[in-house]
Amino acid sequence: MKAIITGMNGTVAPVVADVLSKHDIETVAWDRTKVSTTDESAMRTFLETERPDYFLHIGMGSVSWTEALVHLCQEYEIPFFFTSTVSVFSDDVPAPIDKDAVPDATDEYGAYKIACEQAIQAIDPQAKIVRIGWQIGTEAGSNNMVDFFTNEMKQHGVIRASRNWYPSSSVLEDTAEALVTILLEQEAGLYQLNGNDRYSMYDLARALNTLHAKNWTIEPVDEPRRDNRMATDVVLVRPLSERLPL
């Protein structure tokens, strides 16, 4: 079997590709230097050449590209899979955030993801959309929580972590496993992945400092006061309590 996957230069997609390989699913990266994201004829040729069994849209791009991909996948009867984000919600939405809550983000990234979700749902009700939280990797260099704390330490000489900020989060490898489980085993629809049921940014900073022996200086603070934890109706990702020394 084969899957086309976008976003292979990002944080999540390469790990998802590794998990897919364990299921004997070949992954083909959408290389934007070779395949256009605006020329429908080129996109169509790519799909016809590769003939994938699945299409995973994990990378960033225009809403019009997403719309074109969904239309083409629907035409060729290729299951379409999209990773969205907890960032579709503003800080005004009370936690735990139900998947039926109305996305209300107004920042550029959140509004972009909302537009993609809406476009996909309007075109293909059989698509799978998964909102994920802040990913916890093992090192700096990509868009993950360890990178954030590492940069905070470099820039300020101390990590000021709020005891009142509760982010939706999960370990990157666990997220990838859960995404593939949804792709292969779950019904069409909207899903939310969150492994953090009760831990603050201060808790997570301390746990990651211990786990990776970072020797960070961590100072507890009271701001910001934020709770972005998503509710999950299907528990598919491992809780952070099983992965970090919390």
Q: Kindly state whether residues 11 and 29 are assigned to the same domain.
A: yes
In a domain, 209, yes or no: yes
In a domain, 244, yes or no: no
Q: Kindly state whether residues 64 and 44 are assigned to the same domain.
A: yes
Q: Kindly state whether residues 184 and 62 are assigned to the same domain.
A: yes
Q: Kindly state whether residues 20 and 130 are assigned to the same domain.
A: yes
**Tokens 């996909």, residue located:** 120
Q: Kindly state whether residues 120 and 219 are assigned to the same domain.
A: no
Please report the pLDDT score of residue 123 as a whole number: 97
In a domain, 79, yes or no: yes
Q: Kindly state whether residues 162 and 172 are assigned to the same domain.
A: no
In a domain, 50, yes or no: yes
Please report the pLDDT score of residue 233 as a whole number: 77
128 forms beta bridges with 81, 189
In a domain, 29, yes or no: yes
The domain boundary, picked from 177, 192, 207, lies at 192
In a domain, 240, yes or no: no
Q: Kindly state whether residues 113 and 206 are assigned to the same domain.
A: no
In a domain, 210, yes or no: yes
The residue type at 74: Q
Q: DSSP string covering the chain, please?
A: -EEEEE-TTSSSHHHHHHHHHHTT-EEEE--TTTS-SS-HHHHHHHHHHH--SEEEE-S---HHHHHHHHHHHHHTT--EEEEEEGGGS-TTSPSSB-TTSPP---SHHHHHHHHHHHHHHHH-TT-EEEEE-EEE-SSSSSSSHHHHHHHHHHHHSSEEEETTEE--EEEHHHHHHHHHHHHHHSPSEEEE----SS--HHHHHHHHHHHTT----EEEE----EE-PBP-SS--S--GGGTS--
Please report the pLDDT score of residue 235 as a whole number: 78
Q: Kindly state whether residues 144 and 215 are assigned to the same domain.
A: yes
Give a three-class secondary structure readout of 217-236.
CEEEECCCCEECCECCCCCC
Q: Is the pTM of this model over 0.85?
A: yes
Please report the pLDDT score of residue 126 as a whole number: 96
Q: Kindly state whether residues 12 and 99 are assigned to the same domain.
A: yes
CA atoms within 13 A on the CB side of 52: 29
Contacts of 21 (CB under 8 A, 6+ apart): 27
Q: Kindly state whether residues 104 and 182 are assigned to the same domain.
A: yes
> Which CATH number do you get for residue 20?
3.40.50.720
Q: Kindly state whether residues 107 and 157 are assigned to the same domain.
A: no
Domain count, the chain: 2
> Which CATH number do you get for residue 204?
3.90.25
Query: What does pLDDT average to in each consecutive run of 10 residues of the chain (246 residues)?
Result: 97 98 98 96 97 98 98 98 98 96 97 98 97 94 92 97 98 97 97 97 98 96 98 89 96
Token duo for residue 229: 């934890």
Please report the pLDDT score of residue 174 as a whole number: 97
In a domain, 237, yes or no: no
Residue 205 buriedness (CB in 10 A; 0-12 / 13-18 / 19+): buried
Closest to 83 in 3D by CA, of 236, 237, 190, 187: 190
Closest to 4 in 3D by CA, of 23, 17, 18, 15: 17
Please report the pLDDT score of residue 137 as a whole number: 93
Q: Kindly state whether residues 96 and 184 are assigned to the same domain.
A: yes
Question: What is the domain extent for residue 151?
Answer: 136-167+197-228
